A and B are shown apart, each in its own frame.
Chain A
Amino acid sequence: MGVFRLAAMAWALFFWSLAAGAEGIPAAYSPVVILPAGGPDRTEFDLTAVAERARRESKRLYVYLGARDCAYCRKYESFLEANAKELVRYFAEYNYIVVDLRSALSVTQDKLYIRVGDSSRSYVEFQKVIGDVRARMLVYPLVWVFDGSLRPLMQMPAGTGTFQTVPEQLEILQLVE
């Protein structure tokens, strides 16, 4: 029992350190930070509250899944930080609530779960249900653009490498396909 409690505390401490660290979407974007529940074998992010808020406020969701130990995530976050002055107003103008799911590379697709209301689905199941072809492989960082019903507004690419310039980030916000 003691070992389990210790492991749970270590896990909680690990994710607290994520929240406290510099990782994640820069504060200028007013992200809703969601920390995972569960343990290393089942890491669950609950989107229920942000989806309800998006519906209530008639907004879109820009959901970012980053990993604490992922260099490409830091690169994208640095890009957002460097261009916050220019980009923050476009996230607002195009009506997005930015959501920051904080994970780790050890959370692979078989360990990642997404909860919406009473339903908790594994990454692959969740992606299949919403019709996202990235079900095939989880690549960090990952971005979804959703409406308030968590319907994808556009099929997004794996990773963020193709929208790390201001014009390209705008293409994403404008849902240019």
Chain B
Amino acid sequence: MRKARLFGLAVPLMFCWMALGALAAAEAERPRGLPSGVDHAASSPEWEKIRAKLFQNRNIDAASGKVQLAVPLRAPFGAAVPVKITSGLPQTQELYVKRIYIVVDKNPSAIAAILDLTPEVGQADFETRLRVDEYGHIRVISELSNGELHMASRYVKVSGGCTQPPNRDQLHNIGKTVFRLPEGVRKDTPTAAEVQVVHPNDTGFELNQITVMYIPPHFVRSIRVSYADRKVFDADVDFSMSENPSFRFNFVPRGAGELRAEVEDTKEQHFVGTLAVSLP
């Protein structure tokens, strides 16, 4: 009887030892420190503060896929990290992406941009370049016209984006605002456009290599884009945007008109760029 009880204990113990042995073997096989520190969906203390400030206790759906974010894990340069935002629904009067927030958790100024959109965008896909100062998350939060909030996030491994000395060879062109239509024009259809402002977008954290003094902050505060006098989007931005801030976006040309961007910077300088669009 006693022997049977001992046997009954020994069998589970043996299985436990075997399981532990298998785990240890697997651990030994695993190359030490295989990529494990990347959790694209994780939160951060910085994000929790920003979230409370921007959205209070509203629900944010991070799994709906209604907004997607493409960012390389390691960008070539921390001062110009390419970011691509894709929205999972077309812009209609009934339901559209009303606002897009772009957040870089660990930047000195974490809210990189707030875009205020209209259905004139056609499809709320955007591309831009950001400064990223240290390893952390980039997030995009999409607010729909019905009040829903959707989020996508990516962890990126770059640093020094806010302190890298800027390229200052275009200072004579500061404010020059240029549009491009990289794929031509398509009537009544979301048409890709790019707007770029020549501007150093100085963060205030960059060191002048010659004077060894910090370059004072001087950056673009807003870019307001319209087509044929109808608002397409307004972007409130700051120095977390790369130098020469740019957006690739869509608009719906319903007839010939003018693309217009009005730009304002922190020295209250105003710049305007236009492009006449004719339909095929």
Interface residues, chain A, with chain B CB atoms under 8 Å away = 86, 90, 132-134, 136-137, 155-158, 161-163, 165-168, 170-171, 174, 176-177
Contact = CB atoms under 8 A, between A and B. Distances in A.
A156 B74 contact: yes
B31 A170 contact: yes
A171 B73 CA distance: 10
A133 B79 CA distance: 13
A156 B34 CA distance: 19
Contacts of A165: 33
B34 A157 contact: no
A157 B72 CA distance: 10
B35 A90 contact: no
Contacts of A174: 35
Contacts of A176: 35, 73
Nearest to B160: A161
B261 interface: no
Contacts of B35: 167-168, 170-171, 174, 176
B32 interface: yes
Interface of B: 31-37, 72-77, 157-159
A133 B34 contact: no
Contacts of A132: 76
B36 A167 contact: yes
B36 A157 contact: no
Contact of A136 (B32, B77, B157): B77
Given A157-B158, A161-B159, A162-B159, A170 B77 contact: no
Contacts of B75: 157
A167 B34 contact: yes
10 contacts: A137-B77, A162-B158, A162-B159, A163-B74, A166-B33, A167-B32, A167-B37, A170-B35, A176-B73, A177-B72
A90 B31 contact: yes
A3 B120 CA distance: 69
A105 B85 CA distance: 38
A103 B119 CA distance: 54
Given A155-B76, A174-B35, 10 more contacts: A90-B31, A133-B76, A156-B74, A157-B76, A157-B158, A158-B76, A162-B157, A166-B31, A167-B37, A177-B73
Nearest to A89: B31
Nearest to A135: B76
Choose among A165, A167, A170, A174 the residue with the greatest number of B CB atoms under 10 Å from its CB. A167
A135 B155 CA distance: 25
Contacts of B158: 157, 162
Contacts of B31: 86, 90, 166, 170
